[in-house]
Amino acid sequence: MRFLPTEEQSDFARTLHGLLAASDVPAAVRAWGAGDHTPGRALWARIAATGLFALAADEAHEGMGLMPLEMAGGFVELGRAGVPGPVVETAAAAVLLTRLGDEALAKRFLPGLAAGETSATLTLPGAGPYALDADAATHLFTVSAAGELRLAAGAGPLRTSIDPARRLALPDAGGELLAAGPAVITAARDAADWARLLTAAQCLGTGEALLARTVEYAKQRTQFGTAIGGFQAVKHRLADTLIGLEFARPLLWAAALSLAPGEVAAAKLTAGEAAYAAAMTALQLHGAVGYTEELDLSLWLRKARPLRDAWGSPSQCRAAVLQERLR
């Protein structure tokens, strides 16, 4: 047993971290929210160049094989930087097509997704009805409860999320039928587990970003003649935030190792709640300036709640944990 990331795994996350720290991600997020996907796509291309999306596709189609641990480590960094776009959905679509094992479909879609040249969004049975960023994604996949995988022809009107950088759409019924049957259902289930896992990773990174920014602020902002970070009430809230995040991290690792539904649900539940709690602490400790959209903090603040609920709300995750336990 060695329950720590290997050097290679840590190096990969560090590379992404460095790349994202050197990019102006907040500007790309704001542009994305305003409907201009150009800076976001440029950012996406740099991310894809690290090989991140290739970790969700098999070798025969330009992928690296399914590597959830490495990918989860990478998605923590995407969350930390606040990268916009259907990153989780693109990875999940690649997993679905890899798992489905339909050679023609794999050949048609996977190389582009693995290379980051194309992106995808999707809806899966049992998950929410909305497709994220259908206006920006290259492909819009849907899987019905009956196991029909389709390429939707379009999506209705876009709805905005409480996070302006997320656009939600209800895919049109119908579209090109790509595959159908039990194999689709099985592949979709795997894709949903991956989506849940990677969203958990994004949550953890989001929470860590919120904590780090708030700690910095608490060291600088003075009131009553002293840095507010010297006040115990402030310190203790930040300490609790750190505890929440630190205990979510190993759950994420274990979930990525096994991809067992109960483990993935536990990770998503814990990381989602910890990140949302971090957001509430960040908001409170920034005072009024934290309640503005002008401060970049808002980019993470508004993401924490949607991410907590996407691909498995806390109550769905709790149900999945108990279901596995009571079986």
CA-nearest of 151, 152, 137, 147 to 187 is 147
- Rounded CA gap, 224 and 148, in Å? 63
- Rounded CA gap, 119 and 114, in Å? 9
Residue from the set 18, 65, 101, 230 that interacts with other proteins by CB under 8 A? 230
- Rounded CA gap, 158 and 2, in Å? 46
Do 23 and 46 touch, CB atoms closer than 8 A? yes
Shorter beta-carbon distance to other proteins: residue 176 or 220: 220
Residue with tokens 């750190």: 242
64: contact with other proteins by CB under 8 A:
no
Shorter beta-carbon distance to other proteins: residue 71 or 115: 71
Shorter beta-carbon distance to other proteins: residue 238 or 307: 238
- 298-317 positions binding other proteins, by CB under 8 A: 315
321: contact with other proteins by CB under 8 A:
yes
Piece of the chain touching other proteins by CB under 8 A; list 126-134, 164-172, 233-241, 296-304 = 233-241
Residue from the set 170, 254, 280, 283 that interacts with other proteins by CB under 8 A? 254
DSSP string, 15-76: HHHHHHHTS-HHHHHHHHHTT--HHHHHHHHHHHHTTTGGGGS-GGGT-----HHHHHHHHH
Shorter beta-carbon distance to other proteins: residue 140 or 269: 269
Do 141 and 66 touch, CB atoms closer than 8 A? no
215: contact with other proteins by CB under 8 A:
yes
Q: Read off the tokens for 308.
A: 């907590």
- 260-289 positions binding other proteins, by CB under 8 A: 263, 266, 269-270
- 139-178 positions binding other proteins, by CB under 8 A: none
Shorter beta-carbon distance to other proteins: residue 233 or 288: 233
Residue from the set 22, 104, 223, 232 that interacts with other proteins by CB under 8 A? 232
Q: How many CB atoms lie within 10 A of CB 160?
A: 11
Q: How far is the CB of 234 from other proteins (least distance, A)?
A: 8
Residue from the set 243, 287, 289, 291 that interacts with other proteins by CB under 8 A? 243
6: contact with other proteins by CB under 8 A:
yes
251: contact with other proteins by CB under 8 A:
yes
- Rounded CA gap, 15 and 47, in Å? 10
Q: Using CB atoms within 10 A of its CB, is residue 116 exposed (0-12), middle (13-18) or buried (19+)? A: buried
With a CB cutoff of 8 Å and minimum separation 6, the contacts of 136 are 32, 37, 40, 85, 86, 119, 167
Residues that bind other proteins (CB under 8 A): 1-6, 9, 69, 211, 215, 218-219, 226-227, 229-232, 234-236, 238-240, 242-243, 246-251, 253-254, 257-258, 263, 266, 269-270, 315, 318-319, 321-322, 325-326
